[in-house]
Amino acid sequence: MKKIFSLLILSAFIALPGLLKAQDQKAATHYNLIIGTYTQPGKSEGIYVYDFNDATGEVKYKSVAKGVENPSFLAISKDRKFVYAVNELGGEKKGGVSAFAFDAPSGQLTFINKQNSEGDHPCYISVDKKSKNIIVGNYTGGNLSVLNILPNGGVSPAIQTIQHVGSSANKERQEKAHMHCTILSPDEKYVFTADLGTDKVTSYRYSPWNVQTPLVQASVTTVIAGSGPRHLAFHPNGRYAYLVQELNASVNVYDCKNGKLMLKQNISMISDDFKGKVGAADIHVSPDGKFLYASNRGDANNIAIYSIDKNGKLIFLGSQSTLGKTPRNFAIDPSGKFLLVANQESDDIYVFKRDLATGLLTQTENKINVGAPVFLNFVSMKK
């Protein structure tokens, strides 16, 4: 009897890992991970879609949309039926915006049409929740454009283009306007633009149904000369905004109200003993609003990690190597359990586990090898 009992216990012990894994798989939610890339020059073929498991952090290839040039930044419609990509080109090859129909369950992208972005090297794109308009920022062109979304999900020619002018302290990087961000406020009453070339953040009142001038300037915020504002992220409560500045690798913290930004803190992304080149890129707040992360390129190649206090200010916790070169963009999965970072120049994407209590990151075994990844976003597969 004891022998039989022991065998039963042993069998249960052996089967336990499999049962736990099965339970994890059953509890998992799967998302489409959409990856924007540079195709010229490089190994990339276009826009990639992977399956992401939020229980394990595992990733599996699903599809690629080929034949699209430099789809470096993407936006997904709220209903998940369409994906919009900038075509980051300049000179004789005009920058553009390409529209795709998206089948979320299968991950398949189908090209609809393409329009001129009205400026060289478009690098940022947003779509409003009503799926009325696309707002695109042209880096070299130094301007932003609004394009209508057509009934079939395609895009119209630009209905409004606003040109920025000016320069700032860094004569090599700030010789003219360089638009780097066109992001809608959480209530979508405003569009905020970060102009690296002029050291200014401008907000525009946004009226999506106005077919002539959907954007009207509301406020201008000037940062320290030579900072190079790049991307903006909002706290889930909508009251705080965080600006990552490329040229001096720092983050500005603002109170945000009625389209105006009021500075309350500036904090570095690097430790006191760091020596080398910097190049801050992307910034995101965790879904629970407790932590903020910012990527740094140059010689740093890491993610700066901050805790967010009850007043929205930041406390620097440290940094995590991205295990690759030139972390252009990163994303936190909807569950908040994982952070994925795209290393542009080492052609890889690493999956890190997030500690929900401390905000710190730990390397996992999961990794994607893809040419020049520069954008990541998660999309639900549910119909």
96: Cβ–Cβ under 8 A, 6 or more apart, which residues? 86, 87, 89, 114, 115, 116, 117, 122
Q: Kindly tell me if the per-residue pLDDT of 153 is higher than 60.
A: yes
383 assigned to some structural domain: yes
Distance CA 44, CA 42 (A): 6
Please name the helix (run of DSSP H) or strand (run of DSSP E) that holds residue 23, with its range, or none.
Answer: helix 2-27
What is the band of 272 on the pLDDT scale with cuts at 50, 70, 90?
Answer: confident
Looking at residue 81, the DSSP 8-state letter turns out to be S
The separation between CA 237 and the C-alpha centre of its own chain, rounded to angstroms, equals: 19
Residue 352 lies in a domain: yes
Rounded to the nearest integer, the mean pLDDT of the chain is 94
Q: Does residue 351 form part of some domain? A: yes
Q: Quote the pLDDT of residue 270.
A: 93
Instruction: Classify residue 22 by burial, with Cβ atoms within 10 Å: 0-12, 13-18, 19+.
Output: exposed
Distance (Å, whole) CA 268 – CA 255: 18
pLDDT at 15: 52
Cα 210 off chain centre by: 28
State how many domains the chain has: 1
Least confident range of 6-20, 40-54, 117-131, 178-192: 6-20
Compute the distance between CA of residue 21 and CA of residue 277 in angstroms, rounded to an integer: 44
Cβ-based neighbours of 172, under 8 Å, separated by 6 or more: none
| Sheet containing 215-222, strands listed edge to edge, beginning at the edge strand earlier in sequence | 179-184, 190-195, 200-206, 215-222
Handedness of CA 375, 43, 354, 282 (dihedral sign): negative
pLDDT in tens, 287-300: 999 999 999 999 99
377's CB contacts (< 8 A; 6+ apart) are 33, 34, 74, 76, 331
Would you state the pLDDT for residue 337? Answer: 98
Record the tokens describing residue 103, joined without a space.
């089948």
Range 317-353 burial, b when 16+ CB lie within 10 A, else e: eebbebbbebbbbbbbbebebbbbbbbbebbbbbbbe
- Say whether pLDDT at 221 is over 50: yes
In the prediction, which pLDDT does 19 show? 47
Whether 317 is covered by a domain: the verdict is: no
* Position 40 in a domain: yes
Query: What does the pLDDT average to over 315-328?
Result: 97
Let me know: does 375 contact 342? Beta carbons within 8 Å: yes
Residue 51 domain flag:
yes
Whether residue 11 has pLDDT greater than 80: no
How many percent of the chain have pLDDT more than 90? 90
- Write out the residue range of the structural domain in which residue 61 sits: 29-67+333-383
Indicate whether 114 belongs to any domain: no
Paired tokens of 175: 């010789």
Task: Examine residue 90 and state whether it is found in any structural domain, yes or no.
Answer: no
pLDDT given for residue 6 in this prediction: 52
Asked whether the beta carbons of 61 and 48 are under 8 A apart, the reply is yes
Distance CA 257, CA 241 (A): 10
Beta strand pairing call for 361-369 and 373-380: unpaired
Across 82-104, average pLDDT: 96
